Amino acid sequence: MHDIIDTAVAAGNFKTLANALTAAGLVDTLKGSGPFTVFAPTDEAFAKLPAGTLDSLLKDAPKLKGILTYHVVSGKVMSTDVLKMDGQTPVTVNGATLKVTTTGGVKLNGETTVVKTDIECTNGVIHVIDKVLLPAG
């Protein structure tokens, strides 16, 4: 078993996320002891962003870091725990909250769907999502 970063890189469908984490200076953090729960957008999810959005974010490390830390919750939250969080608003590492709903599948903020769960890592867990989460404001 590997840490969150090595697991994401090995999966092959998180290249954009890995590049973004590097640009934001978050690789060492997510290689740390954790535990962390990462709601990881795939390359396909990043491709859904409006044209030019990703390029501009990669050049704005503080804004990029805020968005990426919005995908991370402290602690190891497995899918069985997430299913018990219907209607709850866990606080992310960036300080903002996510709204969790579980009717018809797990959704974050009403529009982002968790498509794969419980990819266990030495320092936490990854849940795969189909859209990039953007904090309000």
What residue spans define the domains of the chain?
4-129
Fold type of domain 4-129: FAS1 domain (2.30.180)
Q: What is the amino acid identity at position 62?
A: P
- Helix or strand or coil: residue 69? helix
Can you give the pTM of this predicted structure?
0.96
Please, which pLDDT band fits residue 7 given cuts at 50, 70 and 90? very high
In whole angstroms, what is the distance from residue 31 CA to residue 126 CA?
13
What pLDDT is attached to residue 119? 97
DSSP β-ladder status, 100-101 and 107-108? antiparallel
Q: In sequence order, which ranges of the chain are alpha helices (DSSP H)?
A: 4-11, 15-23, 27-30, 43-47, 53-58, 61-69, 79-83
Helix, strand or coil for residue 12?
coil
